[in-house]
């Protein structure tokens, strides 16, 4: 069973713990457990801390981060920048307003897509804190294709699909799969115990993976890593990768993938 008491006593590091770390940063992947990710704050957000998980400084073409919002905290004012945003509520409840539309309540499992150059405002419920996984990315335009419209929904209202035909796997495409107006996907991936990838994948698509439920082994490069809820993985282009769930219940993770655009030469 995973220990959640490290270190065991406040202010005291157990003998032999110095330098021991599950985290790994390589040239085209990073395995990042939550205990090593420090807090920061953002000027545009009140009563909110941020933990950056992926950023260009790591080698990523996007930024992914966890917002930890205190009751009644959130954006200090509407935010409008030349970037597209995606939000997923990991726990708690927030209200999200896009442009002049009335705010929509999002509970755990709620998500939203905000197109580039569109304003948004977010506020946490007054009774309890919230954790919101966020991603921002510069939009890659394509000739003859308009930018996408905003999306606000709850994943619980979506059916689990399986386009692979392999038993024990499930998918929820939170952004419309195959819609060329989007330059990335955000997918919930479901695995029943013992159901793994049919092969080691090696492809050009970059990933940001946040583990939501369960546990398993993740193959990155040429080594296996044990992954639990709240762990994060960045996978760069052509990183060999495979997942094998090891828990007694289903494993679920949220996966970013850049798609639908040509290579830049």
Mean pLDDT taken over the chain: 94
Report the pLDDT value the prediction gives residue 1, as an integer from 0 to 100.
46
At a CB cut-off of 8 Å and minimum separation 6, what does 193 contact? 245, 246, 247, 248, 249, 250, 251
The torsion defined by the Cα of 197, 200, 205 and 211, in degrees rounded to 10, comes to 50
Residues 139-186: tens digit of each pLDDT: 999 999 999 999 999 999 999 999 887 889 999 999 999 999 999 999
Distances (CA, A) of 151 to 35, 108, 110, 239: 32, 16, 11, 31
Residues 72-96: tens digit of each pLDDT: 999 999 999 999 999 999 999 999 9
Closest CA to 74 of 104, 39, 44, 52: 44
Q: Phi-psi region for residue 85, left (φ > 0), alpha (ψ -120 to 50) or beta?
A: beta
C-beta of residue 208 within 8 angstroms of C-beta of residue 31: no
C-beta of residue 94 within 8 angstroms of C-beta of residue 125: yes
For domain 24-258, say whether CATH 2.60.120.10 is its number: yes
The torsion defined by the Cα of 68, 72, 74 and 80, in degrees rounded to 10, comes to 160
More confident residue, 5 or 165: 165
C-beta of residue 241 within 8 angstroms of C-beta of residue 219: yes
């Amino acid at each position: 069973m995973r220990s959640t008491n490290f270190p065991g006593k406040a202010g005291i590091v157990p003998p032999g713990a110095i330098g021991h770390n599950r985290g790994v940063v390589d040239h085209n992947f990073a395995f990042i457990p939550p205990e090593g990710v420090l807090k920061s704050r953002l000027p545009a957000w009140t009563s909110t801390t941020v933990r950056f998980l992926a950023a260009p400084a790591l080698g990523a073409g996007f930024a992914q981060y966890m917002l930890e919002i205190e009751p009644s905290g959130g954006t200090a004012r509407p935010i409008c920048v030349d970037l597209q945003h995606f939000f997923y509520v990991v726990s708690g409840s927030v209200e999200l307003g896009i442009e002049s539309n009335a705010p929509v309540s999002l509970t755990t499992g709620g998500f939203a897509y905000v197109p580039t150059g569109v304003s948004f405002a977010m506020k946490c419920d007054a009774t309890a804190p919230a954790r919101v996984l966020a991603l921002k990315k510069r939009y890659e335009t394509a000739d003859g294709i308009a930018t996408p419209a905003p999306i606000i929904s709850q994943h619980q209202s979506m059916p689990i699909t399986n386009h692979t035909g392999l038993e024990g796997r499930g998918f929820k495409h939170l952004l419309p799969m195959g819609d060329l107006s989007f330059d990335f996907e955000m997918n919930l991936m479901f695995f029943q115990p013992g159901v793994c990838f049919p092969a080691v994948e090696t492809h050009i698509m970059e990933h940001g993976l946040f583990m939501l439920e369960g546990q398993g082994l993740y193959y990155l490069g040429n080594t296996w890593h044990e992954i639990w809820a709240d762990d994060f993985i960045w996978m760069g282009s052509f990183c060999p990768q495979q997942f094998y769930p090891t828990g007694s219940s289903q494993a679920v993770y949220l996966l970013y993938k850049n798609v639908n655009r040509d290579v830049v030469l």
